[in-house]
Amino acid sequence: MKTYLDCLPCFMNQIVRVGRLLKISETDCCAMLREFADDFAEIKLDDPPPKTSIKLYDMISRYSGVEDPFKEIKDESTKKALALYPELKQRVEEADSPLSLAAKFAVAGNVIDFGVASQFDLSAELDRVVDDGAFGKWLESDFFLALGGADWLLYLGDNTGETVMDRLFIETIVKETATPVTYIVREKPIINDAILADAVAAGIDQCAKIISSGCRAPGTVLDLCSPEFIDLFHNAPLIVSKGQGNFETLSEVKAPIFFFLKAKCQVVAEHLEVNLGDLVLTT
Amino acid sequence: MKTYLDCLPCFMNQIVRVGRLLKISETDCCAMLREFADDFAEIKLDDPPPKTSIKLYDMISRYSGVEDPFKEIKDESTKKALALYPELKQRVEEADSPLSLAAKFAVAGNVIDFGVASQFDLSAELDRVVDDGAFGKWLESDFFLALGGADWLLYLGDNTGETVMDRLFIETIVKETATPVTYIVREKPIINDAILADAVAAGIDQCAKIISSGCRAPGTVLDLCSPEFIDLFHNAPLIVSKGQGNFETLSEVKAPIFFFLKAKCQVVAEHLEVNLGDLVLTT
């Protein structure tokens, strides 16, 4: 997905919102806006927005003075999600279709995203999965058909905390289909996206192999990924891509990808032809 | 009122929203964002936001190719408001307190503002005046006391269309108190703010003397106003200031001003300590 006109002011809005969330002073937030504006002409509209986000969040990290300014927020997200995990697991095990319910919980978990909002209600989002109206597109049967024919699965993670719902989905896939899963994390901290330590904290190491994409963007920019990941990506018989960032960076790539995401901004919702806030499973 | 941190991305949002409203191409909207970003460092936080808006809307006019790109929109606003005028006038005449109801209609008319939104519902806003919950602060008795002691009134207009409700308020003031009114318009077209022709189209020339402030900003920046206006301003025994732009530029000026406005952005609402959307009459 290219960078839309609306994305340009949105970058500026993110600086203010995230700067305040991280308790960066108003003076420094203003300095960040000016620094970002100085390089505004360099933003390429042909790039997906997450590519521009690398520079933006590198700047925010620099002003915050720490490499992983979202660490506390991420740890809290994992803790809250793990507290819900036993109940969600029981509901999945007791469901008529455990795979279907686990897939829906996994996409509901995508609400945890500090790149697009500073507040959200995880429990309310998980409760929405029983409501068909929550789903914009939901190509579940296509995905399960593809899963039935795949000898392994590449699973591109997104946000920390959402990782716990990913774990439940992966555990269910392994239990129901015995398909081995490789789970992909970001190379370095960016926003609240999951890095290796975050995935391990969610317990994903207990059900999948975890590998970094080599990419620092809040998405999967193939020309910034490691050769090891590129090899996996091009050989994967089936790919689960979680979240907007992975969608924005991979929507035009020819590969057997199913995108699981919540449409959290108007630009992505319109691009997908769904309503803002919809839960989506699409190719 | 100074420029808040939130105002900086808001300028960028306005370029996109107003650019689209005026049917400026996406390519040109992008060029405007880049042009504005190039001069971002020059925005002075000590200035009120409407001072920065001069440059912004000059740029939008230039890209639109016409001096008054909102002319059609303004004419439509006047037409719609004039269609409501007979009913509003009758309601004011039949009210227990005609002055109070006319003041409330005048502030409800301030919803017509293409600088902060591209859509609004004038009729719904006018209907809200019977609901006390619509008013954040409403220092009506203070204003009427001051009006009782003033031998003339300086009335700073704001948006076109709102001018029709201003006319009804001024007619009611003249009828009830015989106080002469001087109505102030912007010097040149900016957004949908009323210039001389717009005030005349609303019929204000039938009840007040109309004079330009000499200022091109969507507000009243005293150091950009004409000597004639400055003289009126400093000698006025009582001043009605309509709208956010006049509030933002005059809130720190020592003068006998009553501000009539709808709090249409979060920054102004917080500055005034009212809720977003509240109708306000304050000093």
Which DSSP state fits B263? -
Q: Are residues B97 and B171 in the same domain?
A: yes
Q: Specify if A180 maps to a domain.
A: yes
Q: Are residues A110 and A192 in the same domain?
A: yes
Q: Specify if A2 maps to a domain.
A: no
Q: How many domains does chain A have?
A: 2
Task: Give Cβ neighbours of residue A38 (< 8 Å, ≥ 6 apart).
Answer: B37, B40, B41
pLDDT at B184 over 90: yes
pLDDT at B28 over 90: yes
Q: Are residues A222 and A181 in the same domain?
A: yes
CB contact under 8 A, B41 and A37: yes
Q: Specify if B162 maps to a domain.
A: yes
Q: Which helix (H) or strand (E) holds A62?
A: helix A49-64
Q: Are residues B177 and B202 in the same domain?
A: yes
Q: Whole-angstrom Cα distance, residue A63 to residue A23?
A: 10
**Last-in-domain residue among A41, A64, A87:** A64
Q: Are residues A181 and A135 in the same domain?
A: yes
- Structural domain containing residue B48: 7-64
Q: Are residues B157 and B30 in the same domain?
A: no
Q: Are residues A17 and A143 in the same domain?
A: no
Which DSSP state fits A22? T
Measured at the CA of B93, the angle between CA B90 and CA B97, to 5 degrees, comes to 135
**Last-in-domain residue among A45, A64, A83:** A64
DSSP codes joined into one string, B131-190: -GGGEEEE-HHHHHHHHHH-S-EEEE--BTTHHHHHHHHHHHHHHHH---EEEEE-SS--
Q: Specify if B142 maps to a domain.
A: yes
Q: How many residues does chain B have?
A: 283
Q: Give the count of beta carbons closer than 10 Å to the beta carbon of residue A35.
A: 17
Residue A159's domain is classified under what CATH number?
A: 3.40.50.10880
**ipTM score for this prediction:** 0.87
Q: Specify if B1 maps to a domain.
A: no
Q: Specify if A1 maps to a domain.
A: no
Q: Are residues B189 and B136 in the same domain?
A: yes
Q: Give the count of beta carbons closer than 10 Å to the beta carbon of residue A119.
A: 6
Biggest CA-to-CA distance, chain A: 56
- Tens of pLDDT along A115-136? 888 889 999 999 999 898 999 9
Averaged over B179-202, what is the pLDDT? 97
Q: Report the candidate in A216, A210, A215 with the shortest Cα–Cα distance to residue A191.
A: A216
**Last-in-domain residue among A64, A80, A105:** A64
Q: Report the candidate in B84, B112, B230, B59 with the shortest Cα–Cα distance to residue B168.
A: B84
CA B37 vs. chain centroid, Å, equals: 27
Q: What is the mean pLDDT of chain B?
A: 96
pLDDT band at B116 (very low <50, low <70, confident <90, very high): confident
Give yes or no for a contact between B33 and A40, defined as CB atoms under 8 angstroms apart: yes
CB contact under 8 A, A30 and B6: no
Q: Decide: helix, strand or coil at residue A28.
A: helix
Q: Are residues B149 and B271 in the same domain?
A: yes
Instruction: Please state, in angstroms and as integers, the Cα–Cα distance from residue A27 to each residue in A13, A32, A40, A68, following that order.
Output: 15, 9, 20, 21
Q: Are residues B91 and B44 in the same domain?
A: no
Residue of B nearest to A28 (CA): B5
CB contact under 8 A, A41 and B40: no
CB contact under 8 A, A5 and B13: no
Q: Specify if A210 maps to a domain.
A: yes
CB-based contact, A38 to chain B, within 8 Å: yes
Give the pTM: 0.90
Q: Are residues A154 and A44 in the same domain?
A: no
pLDDT given for residue A117 in this prediction: 84
Q: Whole-angstrom Cα distance, residue B92 to residue B172?
A: 8
Q: Kindly report the nearest CA distance between residue B5 and chain A, in angstroms.
A: 6
Q: Specify if B273 maps to a domain.
A: yes
CA B166 vs. chain centroid, Å, equals: 10
Q: Are residues A105 and A171 in the same domain?
A: yes
pLDDT given for residue B90 in this prediction: 98
CB contact under 8 A, B30 and A12: no
Residue of B6, B12, B265 to mutate, interface with A, max A Cβ within 10 Å: B12
- Tens of pLDDT along A254-282? 999 999 999 999 999 999 999 999 999 99
Q: Whole-angstrom Cα distance, residue B235 to residue B256?
A: 10
Q: Report the candidate in B159, B215, B157, B216 with the shortest Cα–Cα distance to residue B181.
A: B157
